[in-house]
Structure 1
Amino acid sequence: MDIKEIQNLIKFVAKSGASEVKLEMDDIKITIRTGSDADVTYVSQAAPMQMAPAQQAAPAPAAPAVNEAPAAPAPAASNDKYVTVKSPIIGTFYRKASPEKPAFVEVGDSIKEGDTLCIIEAMKLFNEIESEVSGTIVKVLIDDSSPVEFDQPLFLVDPS
């Protein structure tokens, strides 16, 4: 399977509305998961071949790079004086400890080092994300119950 076939498969799955597609052939396993705004493609190969690893390595980094590139410069360019709190892990972002409880922080709240900002669920473990800076929450950059990637911006904090 070459790059064009994989790209066409990704486009087909995205247009079809399917949430997950798994394809297993002799020496290749492909899983494509769609959700929110991002397509995630996993390609693994059982037996390494001379040309195939270079071809298979290209689609996986290309898809996340396209999705992350527009998000990162926008907050940084207009908000240079703010500190960006980023996700330390991959998982699901939650602003509240449970649906009936209030959010850990809201825009305008003053925070100090060690305050819990949110929870990120990863593999059924709920990880409290604590602030490493003191200041005021300026902006929440992600919606509640959304998937997050490693190093994805979550909050903007004014340290002054």
Structure 2
Amino acid sequence: MKAKELQELLDFIAKSGLNKVNIETEEFKISVQREPNTKQIVSMSAAPAPAAPQQAPAAPTLAPAAATTPAAPAAEPASSASYTPLKSPMIGTFYRSSGPDAPVFVQVGDTVEKGQVICIIEAMKLFNEIEAEQAGRIVKVLVENATPVEYDQPLFLIE
């Protein structure tokens, strides 16, 4: 399990309100227990046979508990409350332009219209043009060019 995946799992557990979670696969065994003061204790031990495809079943077992408990408030500054995130509709690799030598689709400060192409996400060798879901001004680019993105991950902030 990569450090980023571990951090995402810990964040998910923190937001879900669960006090104890045990996950065991052929690749690893992880136990997370939270004390009433929200301090997190993590212990992880590796097992010999790595099996990446078996990591996926662990997440659905936690999802129903998260749906029944309220989420923790976001730790974003109050100034970003008026901004709307433009989120990734799929998993893939994020590109700001159509090619290495091409200009970027949008920059900070640009005004975009609904339906305007703002980036490309490559998924399984297909390049998907991602369009703005609303009109507004780009305030911040949240993802570096040519980096992987997850489903529903914020890509841009728009006002």
User: Is 1:80 aligned to 2:84, yes or no?
Assistant: no
Identify unmatched segments of 5+ residues in structure 1.
14-20, 24-29, 32-41, 46-55
Unaligned runs of 5+ in 2: 1-22, 31-43
Could you give the per-residue CA deviations for residues 46-97 of structure 1, whole angstroms, max 9, x where no partner exists?
xxxxxxxxxx6369969xx9xxx9xx93457541111110000000000010
Paired residues for 1:37-76 under 5 Å:
42-43=53-54, 57=58, 73-75=74-76
Q: Percent identity?
A: 49
**Is this contact kept in 1: 2:92–2:121, CA < 8 A?**
yes
Asked whether the equivalents of residues 95 and 105 of structure 1 are also in contact (C-alpha less than 8 Å), the reply is yes
Tell me which amino acid in the other structure corresponds to 1:112: E
Instruction: Answer yes or no: is the 8 Å Cα contact 1:43–1:60 preserved in 2.
Output: no
CA distance 1:58–1:111, shift in 2 (3 Å): closer
Name 1:7's counterpart in structure 2: 29
Q: Distance in 2 between matches of 1:126 and 1:22?
A: 34
Q: For 1:138, give the aligned amino acid.
A: V
| Aligned-residue offset at 1:132 | 1.2
| AA in 1 matched with 2:131 | E
Shift of 1:124: 0.5
The Cα shift of 1:143 comes to 0.4
Judged with a 3 Å threshold, the aligned counterparts in structure 2 of structure 1 residues 77 and 86 are, in CA distance, closer, same or farther, namely farther
Give SS of 2:29's match: helix
Structure 1 partner of 2:131: 130
Aligned length: 117
Contact 2:25 2:55 in 1 (8 A): no
Q: Which amino acid aligns with 1:7?
A: K
Distance 2:156 2:138 in 1: 7
CA RMSD after TM alignment? 3.6
In structure 2, what is the Cα distance between the partners aligned to 1:58 and 1:132? Answer: 29
